[in-house]
Chain A
Amino acid sequence: MQADHQTISYGQYKFIIDNVNDIIFQTDSLGNWTFLNRSWERAMKYTVEDSLRTPFFNYLHPDDVEKNYQLFLPLMDGSKAYCSHEIRYLSKDQDVIWMRVYAVLLKNAEGVTIGTSGTLCDITQEKQNQEMIALLSNNILDIVAVHEIDGTYKYISPSIFSATGYQEADLIGRSHFDFVLPEDLEMIKKYHTNLIRSKVGEGENVTFRFVTKSGGYTWLEVVPKLIINDLGDVVGLVTSSRVIDVRKKAEEQLIISSQKERELNQLKSSFINMASHEFRTPLAIIQSSLELVELSISASKDDSKPTKKHINHIYHEIDRLNSLIDDVLITGKIESETVVCSNELFDLVDLVKSAITVIENTQPDNRKSTLTIKGNPRQIKADPVLMKQVLYNLLTNAFKYSVGKKPPQVLLSFTPNEIKISVRDFGIGIPEDEGRKIFTAFFRASNAGQVKGNGLGMFITNKFIEIQNGNIVFQSLKGNGTEFVVSFPQ
């Protein structure tokens, strides 16, 4: 080793010294630089030549000059053999450069102090990182914690105070289980055990109630991450927690309101159900009484026209009330999503023909509609009960809104991918600006006038088609008529 030292030249020393990262310095007893390596230039932007023989305190940050003096005192009065501290310098560009100073006194053979020697290490980046971490952990609302494998707190960010009222020191060294609300403790213990066992880096979020210093609790959502060493063993965990009281409260509120809404809906459904059925008995009484009146009139040979007319009105209104009850019941079922829909193959042509016959038979003006079939008829896969209702509604409307005009036309078309039913009438049509609303419950077009209806027919029709995965569109011109086209992909 001795031989190696002797063989290193001055040039080699200079190269090594100039290329170490730290600044190596010497000062005289007055504090003037007497030696600086080239690292000084890299950090401070001053040349070594310009800096030598100038006092080192000229390069200190003005605010740190006094502090630096105080830190040097123990070294100068001999109470310490060296000094080590962090201090700010100002570069030639006026940038703040944080230096970690390590200095010792230089003495001559007589023991008289002739200066200092040491190193300056540029720790600006490190300081900036520390400041950033401090800024983050002091200002973010999330709580960051480091735990031992058993849950003991090793570190917790200051944000724990604003969240729970505890200081960091209150938690360090204690288990996080000590702060879990008893009702949630079993769940959290199980979660913790499973997480540690899983050895999977990141665990799923968990929410629980953390007991605050005041004795209440706050809801926390915790995202854990396991610390796994090189051997693959779990040695601890890092958690990031967030206060979610507002969210939890909103969730609870939402649950309560949706429960209330469900209860109200249920109440509404049962009311509609009960009321509708209860309407039927009085209607049955009116109907049967009327039939008895009719019988007694015909027995007494009093078949005067006005009496017959009024009896027919009553019959008609019974039918109308009865279909309103049916529609209200169906609407209730649609709204409570309890409509049962089967998916079976049946003959659509037969169903359309029979629907046309039924509806034609109720027309006082004896109009008969025309049925055209295009393509090769085949069975349709849908619900025959719902489909019958759709056809009844479309045909009833087509006749009802075209009294005095030519009869409605029905077109059935079968293409390879689709089956279409078109019901066209030549009646009053739907005003253009009202078209969007016709599938809404209780909507009646402004030009419906004296034509009776409850505004539920098209709502039900549309829903029944929707439930069967079909589609309904219409074209209408006020005064010219309307065409509804129902299509089912097959």
Chain B
Amino acid sequence: MTTLLLIEDDQVLRENTRDLLEVFGFECLVAQRGEAGLDLLEYIKPDLIICDVMMPGFDGYQTKQEINKDPTTRKIPFIFLTGKSATEDIAYGFAIGACAYIIKPFKIKDLVDAITTHIPKTI
């Protein structure tokens, strides 16, 4: 089963998104903050990470940059899921290594499409 890590500070959105992703057959781990997500990554290497940008503590960009420092996590596909919609924000997201940038509110189908496009294909 494909394991995802969802980092989102809003509890309701975090749970809704997890529930929806599970309906689509993904196992979804969740973290409330960037720092918590990084702690989790020490023990578990998910197939893909979904992360909000505006969060207390480490924001999504900082979280991704921390992930990049660790060779064991750097290559995990990373999707930003955020309300920040300015072109420069999107460009920055891609520049630091995201493979997709989805703006809230989002349709679960769009998120699932992005996940399936980017998860490593297993033979």
A→B interface (CB under 8 Å): 276-281, 283-289, 291-292, 295, 318, 322, 325-326, 329, 340, 385
- Contact call B107/A284, Cβ cutoff below 8 A: no
Chain A residues with Cβ below 8 Å from B88 are 340
* Docked pose: A340 CA to B103 CA in angstroms: 20
- Contact call B84/A322, Cβ cutoff below 8 A: no
Please give 19 more A-B residue pairs, beta carbons under 8 A apart, in addition to A280-B105, A281-B83, A295-B20: A277-B54, A277-B83, A277-B84, A280-B85, A281-B13, A281-B104, A283-B105, A284-B13, A284-B83, A284-B106, A285-B16, A288-B108, A291-B16, A291-B20, A291-B108, A292-B16, A295-B23, A318-B105, A329-B86
- Contact call A281/B20, Cβ cutoff below 8 A: no
Contact of A287 among B23, B87, B105 (CB under 8 A): B105
* Docked pose: A124 CA to B103 CA in angstroms: 90
Render B6-40 as a binary contact track against A, CB cut-off 8 A, 1 for contact.
00001011001101100100000000000000000
- Contact call B105/A286, Cβ cutoff below 8 A: yes
- Chain B min CB distance to A490 (Å): 25
Closest 6 CB pairs of A and B: A280-B83, A288-B16, A284-B104, A283-B105, A277-B83, A287-B105
The A/B interface has a contact count, at CB < 8 Å, of 58
Contact of A280 among B17, B23, B87, B104 (CB under 8 A): B104
Chain B residues with Cβ below 8 Å from A322 are 105
* Docked pose: A329 CA to B85 CA in angstroms: 9
> Which of A276, A287, A329, A385 is most buried by chain B, counting CB atoms within 10 A of its CB?
A287
Render B55-97 as a binary contact track against A, CB cut-off 8 A, 1 for contact.
0000000000000000000000000001111111000000000
Minimal Cβ-Cβ distance residue in A for B108: A291
Chain B residues with Cβ below 8 Å from A285 are 10, 12-13, 16
Chain B residues with Cβ below 8 Å from A279 are 83
Chain B residues with Cβ below 8 Å from A280 are 82-83, 85, 103-105
Chain A residues with Cβ below 8 Å from B103 are 280
Chain B residues with Cβ below 8 Å from A291 are 16, 20, 107-108
* Docked pose: A318 CA to B107 CA in angstroms: 11
- Chain A min CB distance to B55 (Å): 11
- Contact call B104/A283, Cβ cutoff below 8 A: yes
Chain B residues with Cβ below 8 Å from A292 are 16, 19-20
- Contact call B83/A278, Cβ cutoff below 8 A: yes
- Chain B min CB distance to A326 (Å): 7
- Chain A min CB distance to B79 (Å): 14
- Chain A min CB distance to B42 (Å): 28
* Docked pose: A299 CA to B57 CA in angstroms: 39
- Contact call A288/B87, Cβ cutoff below 8 A: no
Chain A residues with Cβ below 8 Å from B106 are 284, 287
* Docked pose: A283 CA to B105 CA in angstroms: 5
- Contact call A288/B85, Cβ cutoff below 8 A: no
- Chain B min CB distance to A285 (Å): 5
* Docked pose: A55 CA to B84 CA in angstroms: 106
Contact of A288 among B20, B54, B86 (CB under 8 A): B20
* Docked pose: A288 CA to B105 CA in angstroms: 8
Minimal Cβ-Cβ distance residue in B for A283: B105
* Docked pose: A329 CA to B87 CA in angstroms: 11
* Docked pose: A385 CA to B107 CA in angstroms: 23
Minimal Cβ-Cβ distance residue in B for A279: B83
Chain B residues with Cβ below 8 Å from A289 are 12, 16
Chain A residues with Cβ below 8 Å from B84 are 277
* Docked pose: A276 CA to B20 CA in angstroms: 25
Chain A residues with Cβ below 8 Å from B107 are 287, 291
* Docked pose: A463 CA to B21 CA in angstroms: 41
* Docked pose: A285 CA to B106 CA in angstroms: 9
Chain A residues with Cβ below 8 Å from B108 are 288, 291
Chain A residues with Cβ below 8 Å from B104 are 280-281, 283-284
| Residue contacts A-B, CB under 8 angstroms, 26 given | A277-B83, A279-B83, A280-B83, A280-B85, A281-B10, A281-B13, A283-B104, A283-B105, A284-B104, A284-B105, A285-B12, A287-B105, A287-B106, A287-B107, A288-B13, A288-B16, A288-B108, A289-B12, A292-B16, A292-B19, A292-B20, A325-B85, A329-B85, A340-B87, A340-B88, A385-B87
* Docked pose: A281 CA to B16 CA in angstroms: 12
Chain B residues with Cβ below 8 Å from A283 are 104-105
* Docked pose: A289 CA to B12 CA in angstroms: 9
* Docked pose: A278 CA to B9 CA in angstroms: 13
- Chain A min CB distance to B24 (Å): 10
> Which of B10, B84, B104 is most buried by chain A, counting CB atoms within 10 A of its CB?
B104
- Chain A min CB distance to B15 (Å): 9
Contact of A326 among B16, B17, B20, B85 (CB under 8 A): B85
* Docked pose: A125 CA to B37 CA in angstroms: 98
* Docked pose: A156 CA to B10 CA in angstroms: 76
* Docked pose: A281 CA to B17 CA in angstroms: 12
Chain B residues with Cβ below 8 Å from A286 are 105
> Which of A276, A280, A289, A340 is most buried by chain B, counting CB atoms within 10 A of its CB?
A280
- Chain A min CB distance to B105 (Å): 4
Minimal Cβ-Cβ distance residue in B for A385: B87
Chain B residues with Cβ below 8 Å from A278 are 83
* Docked pose: A27 CA to B23 CA in angstroms: 134
* Docked pose: A279 CA to B103 CA in angstroms: 12
* Docked pose: A87 CA to B57 CA in angstroms: 96
Minimal Cβ-Cβ distance residue in B for A289: B16
> Which of B10, B105, B108 is most buried by chain A, counting CB atoms within 10 A of its CB?
B105
